[in-house]
């Protein structure tokens, strides 16, 4: 087990369809930003509806098969990572917060999934050490100022022919993200749960247009 976290945690018991999962989460997520992490971006400390919807979708096997290994880009609390690992897939959870990746590793161990889950500290826009068979992400498009960095990461994320799946609640910044996405990307969208949409992205790897 990793070193002590700077904030108290609790175990959240979830039942997603027929699959129970245990998630290690901050006991007081609203205090993580202000009191524990010196104003680090701590949106990851909340379990957002898009993550729940994407995890349920993965556990229902409607996304599968996904090419391995799978990258969870901006993993947050790691629910999507756990859902994919529970289906027997090898997953790398990535995030810019070491604290949240610590929680993901603890949750993977708690659910007996450590053999299938890796974590990597990664900020959008940086070079990725490898390409993945496919990638997933939940509620990544909320901040316009991060869109260029995210596009750079998406461009690097998957091997030729790989698919990126993004679950998102269709906020105005999300619409602007897709409007500004270069034409090299092929995007298909469908309803997931409520106002949450599921987007599949594939990129023409021969395209020269910067992403």
- Write out pLDDT tens, residues 32-79: 766 655 555 667 888 999 999 999 999 987 665 688 899 999 999 999
User: Is the torsion defined by CA of 5, 59, 118, 70 positive or negative?
Assistant: negative
User: In Å, how far are 25, 54, 72, 142, 143 from 13, measured between CA atoms?
Assistant: 10, 17, 21, 27, 30
Do the domain assignments include residue 134?
Answer: yes
Q: What is the pLDDT of residue 1?
A: 42
Pick from 57, 51, 29: nearest CA to 42: 29
**Where is pLDDT greater, at 46 or 113?**
113
Q: What pLDDT shows up at residue 45?
A: 80
On average, the pLDDT of the chain sits at 89
Is 178 part of any domain? yes
The answer to the question of residue 139 being in a domain is yes
Which CATH number goes with the domain that contains 66?
Answer: 3.40.50.150
Digit-coded pLDDT (tens) for 44-57: 888 999 999 999 99
Number of independent structural domains in the chain:
1
pLDDT (average), residues 85-94: 95
What residues make up the domain containing 145?
48-203
Whether residue 157 lies inside any domain: the answer is: yes
Residue 43 in any domain: the answer is: no
């Amino acid at each position: 087990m990793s070193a002590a976290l700077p904030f108290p945690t609790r175990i959240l018991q979830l039942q997603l369809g027929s699959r129970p999962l245990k998630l290690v989460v901050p006991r007081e997520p609203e205090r993580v930003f202000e009191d524990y992490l010196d104003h680090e971006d701590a949106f990851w400390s909340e379990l957002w509806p898009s993550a729940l919807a994407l995890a349920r979708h993965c556990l229902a096997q409607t996304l599968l098969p996904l090419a391995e290994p799978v990258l969870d880009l901006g993993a947050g609390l790691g629910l999507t990572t756990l859902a994919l690992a529970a289906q027997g897939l090898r997953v790398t959870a990535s995030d810019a917060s070491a604290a949240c990746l610590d929680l993901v590793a603890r949750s993977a161990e708690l659910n007996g999934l450590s053999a299938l889950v890796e974590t990597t500290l990664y900020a959008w826009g940086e070079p990725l050490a490898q390409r993945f068979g496919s990638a997933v992400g939940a509620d990544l498009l909320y901040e316009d100022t991060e869109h260029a960095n995210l596009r750079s990461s998406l461009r690097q994320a998957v091997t030729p022919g790989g698919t990126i799946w993004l679950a998102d609640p269709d906020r105005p910044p999300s619409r602007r993200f897709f409007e500004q996405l270069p034409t090299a990307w092929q995007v298909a969208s469908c309803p997931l749960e409520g106002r949450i949409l599921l987007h599949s992205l594939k990129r023409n790897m021969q395209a020269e247009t910067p992403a």
